[in-house]
């Protein structure tokens, strides 16, 4: 058994879990943050993407113990003070989601993509960068549109902030 | 149209919870005392169960109970049934073999459930399941339907000799044969429609809770139709009486057909909760989903299309063998029959059609409806053969289609369906314009200069939605009626709740249904709530599949709204001392037409509940229900055109352009409709290019049982789509809606394959058109 402590969405949390507990299990089951989803068992679908120390990570590929001492942000922590993050707002505005299951991981990946590329995104880059996130509902059309729109609204400030 | 009314591009109400991580799916549910289940599954595709030894597993940490088929039988839990009776052409009923929720004597596919382990944690349940020792005696295996029909093939069920479930036909065989005999030209093809795995992103889950104090059961489940689940769990599976069973399908992460059915796991979790005395939750992992979710398609067909000297179609003959897997799933028999062969006239005048369909048991996952369900298979045959015939006859694909389009409605096809409306020229014209069809030769030449092979392919689809008139489907063998119900409750403060039997698992009902109400009464969408997915709240419903929520579900709401409006006008007329026939509803007010008299909506609602001043004899309150049974199917139709470039060195196909021109009738929210087309087209492109389901023919192992092996379409496999609509009103329902959920998956595969075969100059190409297959086809053509 492992004792793990981390900061999740700005709050310090700790828990006791089996060594084999995945970060996604810790987030969903120990912390009750069920916005992070599990859509596969081979680290392909990306429904479980969260940010660990500022970078997008598939939380099914990491043990909870490996995240000990880290700063974790889940979809629940993205909006600040009741204000949607621009990527969340863009997904809604452009109908970038249908069933909503892949959406949290998709949004967390999108934020990371914009953080890394800033306003320099084009459609081809977004599509290539979304390789690790599967959506079965939208055909990606409106997801790509939403990310490009959010990137242009956030501009280069996102990249600067990340650096 | 107001800002929020019919036709408005309104952002979705439900999105707020999904984009903030507040969606509530079945696996998110936690109840006090909840324990976890893991299923012991057969590793063999066909075997006798000799013994099940749980002695070691029983002692594992956290184990609460391990249950198997023998205990299920003790409690008289029923067999899983197929709810649509099909008779063979000799009049005999279909040969349905027994499907036990936990296999007792024989397992028939890899993944067949044998036992359930309930333990304190998910990991403990999995560990203990691995310690259950099941001794099997392996039996010979057959995985493809054509081989399964051959003499000497392994036999799956004693009820089905030679694995034949039924041998069914539709249409006029003699007239079709005569047309082929007399034809100036006959195009013949053998066509395989590849087996697909639906893959909604949320894996199935179930949480069964038995309350001993009340002798009451609750099932949370990933279902497209919770009321049907309650009905069959009660009436056929004998798990719980209907009045003691609540089924809740909360947020559901996609369905595409695969969550229509009531699977072994849901039955067993509910039953196991009573047996073990604890709430039992099961959540399937992705490989388990590949191994147990109903698959789709899997047809092998030979077809002949006959033309006269003027290139008019004179006859169409189809012989299909459909693989239904190891057991008959809930609607499996209807998919390759009434949802398939009744669409074989397509958009064309075809005087004689005959289809023969044999359905077959194999040692594979049961096959049932997947997005489109039978209609993609019909469309694929028609649109491949039309394109092929055009090439053989030396006419353009568009001209051959135009030559044969149906132009007068209603049109009675020779295969049951009566098309009520359509304008097929309009959608073909719109699609050809959108893709600049005339400019294709120049684009092809430009691609050639870059060393790429460019091709273009057309597909003109029609499908039947809004399923369906209850008496009609009843006469064809359906075990249920396919009406829908709605209840509209106006609260005392004027807010409105709409209870619907439709179920949203991505379709955005909370938005479109609210738009309908906002449009009718001029109230804000925020004052309207849509309630669905809970059998304790909504009395009865038939759920969502076959694009029926708009055409059928919303029609039921319209009927209930009509009743609410009539009563509201009575109350308002009384308050204003006017005649109710003079009252109109505008912008949230009830007004006397031509005067300045008005009563706000909320004041009328309050009056209904205070009941201080109601018309003589009128009951207090404002709540009306309605059941709507459609008078006909609806017939969405359209044209899809795809342009591809093939790299001759690698066989890699790139979809460079894709246009859709759909006629969905009236549209409530164009943004949501476009999203449905995008998603459907992506699944169709997936079928055509990427998604192959492969079984090892000797062992029956599913070789493509994860996202490492089964190619799901990713963002970089797809282009952005150009979608547009044309509109002919649908006369069969009050809103004129045809439905849009499946069109994309139906119309797109033939457009892709027609385009690739055009590019490579070889018409022999199977789906999925992987790089290897395309490369080989290109080489053999050279």
Q: What is the mean pLDDT of residues B563-590?
A: 97
pLDDT the model gives residue A37: 98
Mean pLDDT of chain B: 97
Whether the pLDDT of residue B340 is over 90: the answer is yes
Clarify whether residues A90 and A158 are in a common domain: yes
Q: Tell me the ipTM for this assembly.
A: 0.97
Separation between Cα atoms, residue B21 and residue B576, nearest integer Å: 48
Please state, in angstroms and as integers, the Cα–Cα distance from residue B233 to each residue in B218, B264, B367, B491, following that order.
Answer: 12, 11, 21, 34
3-class secondary structure, B663: strand
**Main-chain dihedrals φ then ψ at residue B219, nearest 5 degrees:** -125, 115
Please list every residue in chain A whose beta carbon sits closer than 8 Å to the beta carbon of residue B682: 138-141
How far is the alpha carbon of B686 from chain A, nearest alpha carbon, in Å?
10
Please indicate, yes or no, if residue A107 is contained in any of the structural domains: yes
3-class secondary structure, B63: strand
Clarify whether residues A124 and A66 are in a common domain: no
Clarify whether residues A69 and A97 are in a common domain: no
Structure pTM? 0.97
> Cis peptide leading into B468, omega within 30 of 0?
yes
B253–A38 CB contact, under 8 Å: no
Please indicate, yes or no, if residue A81 is contained in any of the structural domains: no
Whether the pLDDT of residue A6 is over 80: the answer is yes
Clarify whether residues A33 and A97 are in a common domain: no
Separation between Cα atoms, residue B689 and residue B769, nearest integer Å: 5
Please indicate, yes or no, if residue A133 is contained in any of the structural domains: yes
> Cis peptide leading into A9, omega within 30 of 0?
no
In the stretch 254-283 of chain B, residues with CB closer than 8 A to chain A read 254, 256
For A27-71, the pLDDT digits (tens) are 999 999 999 999 999 999 999 999 999 999 999 999 999 999 999
Structure-token pair, residue A162: 């990340």
B714–A131 CB contact, under 8 Å: yes
pLDDT the model gives residue A155: 81
For B192-236, the pLDDT digits (tens) are 999 999 999 999 999 999 999 999 999 999 999 999 999 999 999
Domain that holds residue A110: 86-162
Whether the pLDDT of residue B108 is over 50: the answer is yes
Residue that finishes a domain, picked among A76, A101, A120: A76
Percent of chain A scored above 90 by pLDDT?
A: 90
Percent of chain B scored above 90 by pLDDT?
A: 98
pLDDT the model gives residue B535: 97
How far is the alpha carbon of B672 from chain A, nearest alpha carbon, in Å?
7
Clarify whether residues A102 and A125 are in a common domain: yes
Please list every residue in chain B whose beta carbon sits closer than 8 Å to the beta carbon of residue A97: 15, 18-19
Is A140 within 8 Å of A71 (Cβ atoms)? no
CB burial string B236-269: b at 16+ within 10 A, e below: bbebbeeeebbbbbbbbbbbbbbbbbbbbbbbbb
For B53-98, the pLDDT digits (tens) are 999 999 999 999 999 999 999 999 999 999 999 999 999 999 999 9
In the stretch 713-732 of chain B, residues with CB closer than 8 A to chain A read 713-716, 718, 720-721
How far is the alpha carbon of B436 from chain A, nearest alpha carbon, in Å?
21
**Main-chain dihedrals φ then ψ at residue B463, nearest 5 degrees:** -145, 170
| Count of C-beta atoms within a 10 Å radius of residue A29 | 18
For B33-48, the pLDDT digits (tens) are 999 999 999 999 999 9
From the list B741, B729, B367, B374, the residue with the least C-alpha distance to B546 is B741
DSSP element (H, E) containing A128? helix A123-129
pLDDT the model gives residue B658: 98
The answer, for B670 touching chain A at a CB cutoff of 8 Å, is no
| Count of C-beta atoms within a 10 Å radius of residue B357 | 24
For A58-104, the pLDDT digits (tens) are 999 999 999 999 999 999 999 988 899 999 999 999 999 999 999 99
Domain count, chain A: 2
Please list every residue in chain B whose beta carbon sits closer than 8 Å to the beta carbon of residue A102: 201, 253
Q: What is the mean pLDDT of residues B540-562?
A: 95
How many beta-carbon pairs below 8 A join chains A and B? 182
Quick one: CA dihedral B310, B312, B317, B318, positive or negative? positive
Cα end-to-end distance, chain B, whole Å: 57
Clarify whether residues A69 and A93 are in a common domain: no
Is B638 within 8 Å of B458 (Cβ atoms)? no
A107–B718 CB contact, under 8 Å: no
Q: What is the DSSP string of B477-535?
A: TBSS---EEEEEEE-TTS-EEEEES---SSS-HHHHHHHHHHHHH---GGGEEEE-SBT
Whether the pLDDT of residue A115 is over 90: the answer is yes
Partners of residue B484 on adjacent β-strands: B628
Clarify whether residues A57 and A115 are in a common domain: no
Please indicate, yes or no, if residue A64 is contained in any of the structural domains: yes
Domains for chain B: give ranges and CATH numbers. Answer: 31-139+201-254+259-292 (3.90.1170.50), 378-462+635-781 (3.30.365.10), 483-628 (3.30.365.10)
Clarify whether residues A147 and A94 are in a common domain: yes
CB neighbours of B561 closer than 8 A, spacing ≥ 6?
B488, B516, B517, B520, B521
Mutate which of A44, A74, A136 to test chain B, going by most B C-beta atoms within 10 A?
Answer: A136
Q: What is the mean pLDDT of residues A13-17?
A: 95
pLDDT the model gives residue A161: 52
What is the CATH classification number for the domain harbouring A94? Answer: 1.10.150.120
């Amino acid at each position: 058994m492992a004792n793990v402590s981390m900061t999740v969405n700005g709050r310090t949390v700790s828990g006791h879990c089996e060594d084999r507990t995945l970060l996604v299990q810790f987030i969903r089951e120990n912390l009750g943050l069920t916005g992070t989803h599990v859509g596969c068992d081979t680290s392909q679908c990306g429904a479980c993407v969260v940010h660990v120390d500022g970078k997008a990570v598939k939380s099914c590929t990491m043990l909870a113990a490996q995240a000990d001492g880290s700063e974790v942000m889940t979809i629940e922590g993205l909006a600040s003070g009741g204000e949607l993050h621009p990527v969340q707002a863009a997904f809604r505005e452009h109908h970038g989601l249908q069933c909503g299951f892949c959406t949290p991981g998709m949004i967390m990946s999108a934020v990371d993509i914009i953080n890394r590329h800033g306003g320099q995104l084009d459609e081809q880059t977004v599509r290539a960068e979304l390789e690790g996130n599967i959506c079965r509902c939208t055909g990606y059309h409106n997801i790509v549109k939403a990310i490009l729109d959010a990137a242009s609204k956030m501009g280069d400030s996102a990249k600067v902030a990340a650096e | 149209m107001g800002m929020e009314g019919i036709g408005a591009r309104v952002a979705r109400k439900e999105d707020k919870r999904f984009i903030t991580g507040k969606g509530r799916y079945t696996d998110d549910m936690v109840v006090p005392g909840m324990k976890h289940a893991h299923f012991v599954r057969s590793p063999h595709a066909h075997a006798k169960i000799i013994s099940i030894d749980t002695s070691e597993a029983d002692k594992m940490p956290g184990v609460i109970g391990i249950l198997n088929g023998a205990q299920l039988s003790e409690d008289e839990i029923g067999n899983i049934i197929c709810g649509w009776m099909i008779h063979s052409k000799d009049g005999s009923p279909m040969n349905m073999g027994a499907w036990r929720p936990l296999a007792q004597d024989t397992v028939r596919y890899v993944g067949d459930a044998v036992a359930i382990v309930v333990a304190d944690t998910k990991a403990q349940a999995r560990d203990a399941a691995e310690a259950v020792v099941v001794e099997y005696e392996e039996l010979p295996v057959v995985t493809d339907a054509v081989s399964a029909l051959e003499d000497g093939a392994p036999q799956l069920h004693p009820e089905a000799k030679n694995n034949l479930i039924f041998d069914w036909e539709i249409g006029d065989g003699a007239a079709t044969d005569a047309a082929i005999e007399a034809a100036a030209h006959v195009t013949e093809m053998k066509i395989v429609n590849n087996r697909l795995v639906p893959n909604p992103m949320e894996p199935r889950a179930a949480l069964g809770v038995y309350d001993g104090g009340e002798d009451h059961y609750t099932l949370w489940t990933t279902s497209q139709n919770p009321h049907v689940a309650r009905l069959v769990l009660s009436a056929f599976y004998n798990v719980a009486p209907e009045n003691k069973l609540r089924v809740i399908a909360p947020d559901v992460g996609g369905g595409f057909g695969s969550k229509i059915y009531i699977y072994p796991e849901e039955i067993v979790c509910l039953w196991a909760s009573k047996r073990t005395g604890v709430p039992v939750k099961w959540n399937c992992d992705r490989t388990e989903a590949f191994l147990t979710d109903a698959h789709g398609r899997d047809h092998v067909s030979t077809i002949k299309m006959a033309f006269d000297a003027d290139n008019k179609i004179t006859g169409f003959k189809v012989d299909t063998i459909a693989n239904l897997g190891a057991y008959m799933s809930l609607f499996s028999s209807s998919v390759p029959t009434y949802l398939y062969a009744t669409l074989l006239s397509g958009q064309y005048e075809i005087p004689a059609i005959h289809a023969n369909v044999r359905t077959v048991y194999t040692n594979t996952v049961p096959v049932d409806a997947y997005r489109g369900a039978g209609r993609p298979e019909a469309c694929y045959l028609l649109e491949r053969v039309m394109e092929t015939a055009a090439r053989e006859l030396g006419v353009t694909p568009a001209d051959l289609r135009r030559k044969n389009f149906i132009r007068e409605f209603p049109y009675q096809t020779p295969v049951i369906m009566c098309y009520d409306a359509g304008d097929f020229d309009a959608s073909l014209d719109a699609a050809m314009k959108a893709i600049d069809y005339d400019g294709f030769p120049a684009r092809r030449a430009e691609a050639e200069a870059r060393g790429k092979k460019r091709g273009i392919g057309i597909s003109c689809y029609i499908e039947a939605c809004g399923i369906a008139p209850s008496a009609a489907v009843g006469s064809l063998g359906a075990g249920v009626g396919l009406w829908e119900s709605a209840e509209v409750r106006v609260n005392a403060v004027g807010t409105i709740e709409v209870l619907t039997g439709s179920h949203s698992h991505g379709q955005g009902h909370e938005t479109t249904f609210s738009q309908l109400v906002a449009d009718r009464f001029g109230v804000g969408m925020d004052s309207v709530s849509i309630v669905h997915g809970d059998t304790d709240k909504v009395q009865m419903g038939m759920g969502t599949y076959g694009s029926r929520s708009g055409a059928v579900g919303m029609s039921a709401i319209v009927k209930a709204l009509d009743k609410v409006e009539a009563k509201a006008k009575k109350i308002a007329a009384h308050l204003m001392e006017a005649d109710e026939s003079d009252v109109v509803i505008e912008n949230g007010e009830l007004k006397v037409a031509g005067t300045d008299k008005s009563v706000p909506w909320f004041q009328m609602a309050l009056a209904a509940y205070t009941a201080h001043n109601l018309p003589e004899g009128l009951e207090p309150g404002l709540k009306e229900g309605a059941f709507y049974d459609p008078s006909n199917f609806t017939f969405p139709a359209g044209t899809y055109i795809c342009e591809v470039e093939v790299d001759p060195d690698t066989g890699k196909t790139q979809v460079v352009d894709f246009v859709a021109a759909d006629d969905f009738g009236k549209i409530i929210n164009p943004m949501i409709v476009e999203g449905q087309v995008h998603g459907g087209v992506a699944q169709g492109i997936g079928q055509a290019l990427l998604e192959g389901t492969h079984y090892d023919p000797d062992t029956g192992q599913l070789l493509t049982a994860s996202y490492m092996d089964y190619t799901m379409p990713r963002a970089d496999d797809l282009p952005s789509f150009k979608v547009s609509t044309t509109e002919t009103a649908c006369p069969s329902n009050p809103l004129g809606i045809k439905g849009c959920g499946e069109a994309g998956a139906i119309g797109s595969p033939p457009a892709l394959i027609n385009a690739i075969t055009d590019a490579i100059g070889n018409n022999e190409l199977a789906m999925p058109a992987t790089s290897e297959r395309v490369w080989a086809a290109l080489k053999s053509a050279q």
